[in-house]
A and B are shown apart, each in its own frame.
Chain A
Amino acid sequence: MHAPANPFNVRKSSSRTVENVAFGLFRAATYFILACATFIFGFIFVKGGETVFRAHFPFVNVPFLTQSPETLYVFEYEGKKMELGDKEFRAFKENHGLKELPAESFAHSAGGIFPCIVGTVLLVIGSMAIALFIGVSAAIYLSEYSKHGPFVRFVRLAILNLAGVPSIVFGLFGLGLFVVFMPVLQSFHNPAVLSLPVGFGHYLNFSGWNVCLLSGWFTLAFMALPVVIIASEESLKAVPMGFREGSLALGATKWQAIRTNVLPYALPGMITSSILSIARVAGETAPIMFTAAYIVRDKMPWQVEHPLDFLFQGVMALPYHIYVVSSKLPQNEYTERVQYGTAFVFLVIVMGIALTSILLRIRMRSRHRW
């Protein structure tokens, strides 16, 4: 008698080799992505960290976060190399009784990026409000009211297509519609454009809103809309049908059922998903470069004469600032500091928004269980 051979101890077939190769490739692809992401983040964090952080108290470059961009003047004075921002430079000249002081100037390289932070935050808040309102309304209509048919299918297709439109096209769309065409109520007849009298000596002049917050809000909102609508529909679908049926069976109108027994439970999901999409959209430069962003603006957004002017002012914004500093100005060591510092701050803000929405979602999810 001989010991039975192990029936499982056979030569590995070629299909096992193929499997190993295939999984190896998948694994390599995954690690490659991870490596790229780590490199990008690491690079920006290291380079930007030099600008944003300080080795001594208060460890953060406070002026960079709280001041407006200024022109940097670099000059030699009594054998010492000096780097001063615009205001300091003038003060320096005055203190030393100098009329002329030859210096190299570098635009945007001194001061900070406070107006850009404020502008980006304003753009995010406004576009989020608009996108949420339009998107949630459309989602409610599509998933709760509309009858399924060719029209709704067409609308859905249009929404999906909207999601695939390049951001620069949104920028041009915003330029064409909001910046140069949308009507404004004015007290004079503008013969250059379509001008409709509305009585009391006022005219609706289709001369556009110009480059301003309002134009930027709508452009960004339209860009975020597809995701907001799709995410809102998902949230609505996640609310059990029984809540609607239960309310309707008690004699609620459809709107009552939705308002009291669907929306409250869908809204957290809608808001958190929408914040995520806005965080993504807020990072876009193309949609705002034609519609809302200024290269430089001395006044802060709240320094307006008339409250309504608030909506009709352009703002500085972080992504556009990065674009301007890194491609519209001569490159040198000084602009590089601003580039990476701005990118760093921007990344932190976007990540902060995303993180907030994720934490919010986790909290809200645990609150509603059925």
Chain B
Amino acid sequence: MIPPDAASLPKAAAMSSEENPTMIEVESLDFFYGQAQALHGISIQIPAKKVTAFIGPSGCGKSTLLRCFNRMNDLVDIARIGNGRVRIHGIDIHHPDVDVIALRRQVGMVFQKSNPFPKSIYENITYGLQIQGINDRRKLDEVVEKSLRGAALWDEVKDRLHTSGLGLSGGQQQRLCIARAIAVEPSIILMDEPCSALDPIATSKVEELIQVLKGKYTIVIVTHNMQQAGRCSDHTAFFYLGRLIEFARTEKIFTNPSQRQTEDYITGRFG
């Protein structure tokens, strides 16, 4: 059985009611850690080339859902999917025919704690390509410049590409991780609280970057920072206790939420 190459997957099979086609479609997803149910019947359609923010109090399942999209939860022994499907480009990503490696090349991820490898900036960017066996120096040089420019980091690091990525500031490290993710040309970038360890200036740089990136990539960002969700997302989903409470355009969520719980959370009455 040959796993389908994710790059050749048909683009956007389903259309949402929004103007953009659906990129990630979750259908009544139940998710468990051992016996504990972390997600209850989540259904959500995440539009392509938009920024979708997941908000909600700690432990509400937003990171768990995010990690379903690139099957990072596979790493957790006791994690398992109960019911439901996650479709990306219309393909059920938990189907046995799907190669998780190919999936992860399509669905990049940026983590809460910036995690550049203890290698040079250059090697950090080329890592994703080299594990695919791409070693052509010209191609790699090209990708490094393109990715670093894409992550608005090129001007800051172009003179020290071969110094350690760990020598960068926290915000630069996080943008390096974004550059590393876009180097393998994914169609989706998942961001798991990417700014929670950054100072306000670094945060605003990453947020600006998100605005630039959304033209090319579908971005899903988990955040604890309500202002951040308001500033940089097009759609916002509010989760509470493993359930999706409300999902709508960000303006609507923040100005006129239809659920009482959403309003309470956004206005700071709990969470």
| Residues in A lying within 8 Å of B, measured CB to CB | 147-149, 240, 242-253, 256, 260-261, 265, 368-370
Contact = CB atoms under 8 A, between A and B. Distances in A.
Interface string B67-93: 000101001010000000000000000
Nearest to A264: B118
Counting chain B CB atoms within 10 Å of each CB, the highest count among A242, A243, A246 belongs to A246
B128 A251 contact: yes
B131 A251 contact: yes
A251 B111 contact: no
B214 interface: no
Given A246-B177, A251-B101, A253-B101, A368 B118 contact: yes
Given A245-B115, A250-B104, A261-B117, 4 more contacts: A246-B117, A246-B180, A250-B128, A250-B181
Contacts of A265: 118
B187 to A, nearest CB: 13
A250 B166 contact: no
A152 B177 CA distance: 34
Interface of B: 70, 72, 75, 77, 101-102, 104-105, 108-109, 111, 113, 115-118, 127-128, 131-132, 166, 177, 180-181, 184
B153 to A, nearest CB: 17
B115 A250 contact: no
A247 B127 contact: yes
A212 B117 CA distance: 45
B238 to A, nearest CB: 25
Contact of A243 (B102, B104, B117, B184): B117
Nearest to A244: B75
Contacts of B180: 246, 250
Contacts of B117: 243, 246-247, 261
Contact of B127 (A149, A260, A368): A260
18 contacts: A148-B77, A243-B117, A245-B111, A246-B111, A246-B117, A247-B131, A248-B72, A249-B72, A249-B181, A250-B104, A250-B105, A250-B108, A250-B127, A250-B128, A251-B132, A253-B101, A261-B117, A368-B118
A356 B236 CA distance: 58
Nearest to B104: A251
